[in-house]
A and B are shown apart, each in its own frame.
Chain A
Amino acid sequence: MIHESIAATQAVVTLDVPLPDIFWGWFVTMNMWAKSIGTGLVFMLFLLMKKNPDEMKGLRTPTLIVSFVMMNVFLLFTLADLHQPFRMWHIFFYPHWTSAITVGAWMATVFVGLESLMIVVMLRKDKCLLTKNPTGFFDKLLFWVTLLAIPVTLYTAGIMAEATARELWQMSTESVQMILAATLSGSAAMILLGGSKLSDKTKQFFGAILGLSALMAFIIYMSEYIFGGMKSEEVIAILSNIKGDGEYATMFWVGQWVAYILPMLLIALARVSKSSNLLNLASILAIVGLWVVKHVWLVIPQLLSLS
C-alpha cells in the first residue's frame, strides 16, 4: 500500500493549491432523501393495492399527494444545487444520453407528470373527462407509475457510479441501497400516513418491510465499513473519515443507530406488544436517520485529495 511508503519517503506536500471543499453538500442529501420517500410511497401504495385493496379507500389521493410533494422537494433541491439553475432547460433541449443525470431528469419529469395526472383524476372524480371510472384508472396507472419508480429510484446510483473519482460509490451496492432507502422510508411514511385507515395487520406488514429494509441496508453499510478497504486504497482513505476519530465517525454511527438499529429493535418490540406507537416511533426515526446516513455517505468521498 502506497500510503505506508510515506514512513520511508517522508513525502510531504510543501506547495499546492487549496483543495476544493464539498461540492455536493446537503442539497444533494435532501434530493436523495426526498426522492426515496416519494418513490417509496408509490411502492407501498402498490403493495397495498395488491395485498389489501379495501384499505386503499381514502389513502389513494393523500398518499400520492405526499409522494408528489416529496418528488417536488427533490426536484427543487436538484434545481437549487445547480450553479446555473436557469439553464436547467438545457437538459431537455441538449440531452446527453450517456449521463445518468439526463436520463434521471427525464424519467423523474415523466414520473411527476403521471403523478399529477393521477391526483387530478382523483380530485375531479365527479367531473373527470378522461375516464368514467377514476379509481380504476388510478389503479391501472399505479402499476405503470410503480414500474417507473424503480429506475427513478435507481438513477441516482447511476450518477454516483459515473462519479468515477469517488471510489466508494459502486453501482451494485448503491443501487441496492437506493431501493432499500425507498422501501425503508416509503414503509415508514405509509405507517405514519395510514393512521387509523390501516388495519393493525397491514401496519405490521409495513413494519416488517421497514425492519427488513433497515436490516439489509445496515448489513451492506457494515460490509462496506469492514471490508470496503479491501477494494482499493482510496476506499481505505475515505473510510478513515468514519472510523476512529474520523471527522464523520460520530455522524455515521448516529445515522446507523437512528435509521437502522433502533427502528429494527422497535419493530421487533412492536410485533411482540402489537403497539402502533412503537411502529410510529420507528417510522419517524427511520425517516430522520436516513437523511443522516445518506449525508455521511455523500460527503466522505469528497474529502479525498484527488491530486
Chain B
Amino acid sequence: MQLGFLVDLHLCMGCKGCEIACKVENEVPLSTWRLRVKYVDVGAFPETKRTFTPLRCNHCENAPCERICPVSALHYIDNGIVNIDSERCIGCAGCVMACPYGAIYIDPETQTADKCTYCAHRVASSMMPACVVACPVEANIFGDLEDPTSNISMYIQDHRDVQVRKPEKGTNPHHFYVGASQVNLNPLASERVEGFSLFNKITHLPLGGHHE
C-alpha cells in the first residue's frame, strides 16, 4: 500500500475548512501550519481571478527530509507515509532545510520538527485524514496509489492535468494536483508583497533565540 493525496483545484473554493480541521485534529500550535491554503490573485481589475492551493507535506517517495534526518526521527511507514517521531527529533532543522516544499516547521512548544503525517494516527484506525473529512466539496481525494480501483487511482486515470509540485527535484511526491497552473504550484510565479497575510503585516516569522 502506498497512500497518496490528490487535490482537485477545480473544486477547491478556499474555505480553509481543511486547514482548521488539521489544526484541531493535530493540535497544531499558533503560528505554525501542517496544512494551509494559499490564495493567489491573478489578472488586473476587472479581469481578476482568485486561485486557492492547499499546501501540505508531499510524502515523497524519495524524501530529502528522511534522508537528511540524523536520527531517523523522520521515517517511512509501510503505507508510504513519511512519519515523524518527535521524541527522537533533536531539532537540527536539517529536514526544514531539505524539504523543497517548505512543509516542515519547528514546533514552538516541543522544539522539534513537525509536519503533516496524512493523519497517520487516524489512518491506522481506518479513518480518513481530518482534512478529507472536513472538505465540503470533496476536493481532497485520499487513497492507495497501488490499488487501481481506489478513488485516487481512478481520478489520476481520468484526468490528464495531474501534476506534482517541483517534479524536477526528483522527490517523487505522493501528492497530486488536478487543475493547477504554475501560479498554484510554483512560488516564483507570483509576487509576494509585504502584507500578504490578511490578518497582520507579518512577512517573516521570527523563530526566536539565536536563529535570527
Contacts and interface: CB of A to CB of B under 8 A. Distances in A.
Given A3-B189, A162-B98, A233-B188, A23 B207 contact: yes
Interface in B14-51: 31, 33, 36-44, 50
B102 A14 contact: no
Interface in A77-100: 80-85, 87-88, 90-91, 94-96, 98-100
Interface in A4-56: 5-6, 9-27
Interface-central residue, B39, B55, B97, by most chain A CB under 10 Å:
B97
Contacts of B102: 19-20, 165, 305-307
B124 interface: no
A223 interface: no
Category for how many chain B residues contact A: 35 or more
Contacts of B92: 81-83, 101
Interface stretch (B5-13, B62-70, B150-158): B62-70
Interface residues of A, number: 56
Given A84-B90, A99-B69, A159-B94, A307 B41 contact: no
Interface stretch (B126-134, B137-145, B172-180, B193-201): B193-201
Given A6-B191, A307-B38, A21 B50 contact: no
Nearest to B96: A23
B91 A90 contact: no
Contacts of B97: 23-24, 163, 165-166, 302
B211 A91 contact: no
Contacts of A18: 31, 197, 202-205
A46 B96 CA distance: 38
A16 B101 CA distance: 14
B186 interface: yes
A16 B31 CA distance: 12
B79 interface: no
Contact of A26 (B33, B37, B182, B210): B210
Contacts of A16: 36, 38-39, 192, 196-197
A14 B50 contact: yes
A91 B69 CA distance: 10
Given A21-B204, A98-B67, A165-B64, A307 B187 contact: yes
B199 to A, nearest CB: 9
A24 B69 contact: no
B149 interface: no
A13 B192 contact: yes
Interface-central residue, B37, B187, B207, by most chain A CB under 10 Å:
B187
B103 interface: yes
A96 B63 CA distance: 14
A2 interface: yes
A17 B202 CA distance: 9
B100 interface: yes
A91 B169 CA distance: 27
28 contacts: A5-B189, A11-B191, A13-B190, A13-B193, A14-B41, A15-B197, A16-B197, A18-B205, A19-B192, A21-B205, A21-B211, A23-B97, A23-B106, A23-B211, A24-B93, A25-B211, A27-B210, A82-B91, A83-B106, A96-B72, A99-B94, A101-B92, A165-B101, A233-B188, A306-B100, A306-B187, A307-B101, A307-B187
Interface of B: 31, 33, 36-44, 50, 55, 64, 66-72, 88-94, 96-103, 105-106, 111-112, 165, 169, 171, 182-183, 186-193, 196-198, 202-207, 210-212
Interface of A: 2-3, 5-6, 9-27, 80-85, 87-88, 90-91, 94-96, 98-102, 105, 159, 162-166, 233-234, 237, 302, 304-307
> When A and B form their complex, which 3 residue pairs have the shortest distance between CB atoms, in order from nearest?
A83-B91, A306-B102, A11-B190
Given A23-B106, A81-B210, A102-B71, 13 more contacts: A11-B183, A14-B41, A15-B37, A15-B38, A16-B36, A19-B205, A84-B89, A85-B91, A87-B91, A159-B68, A163-B64, A165-B64, A165-B101
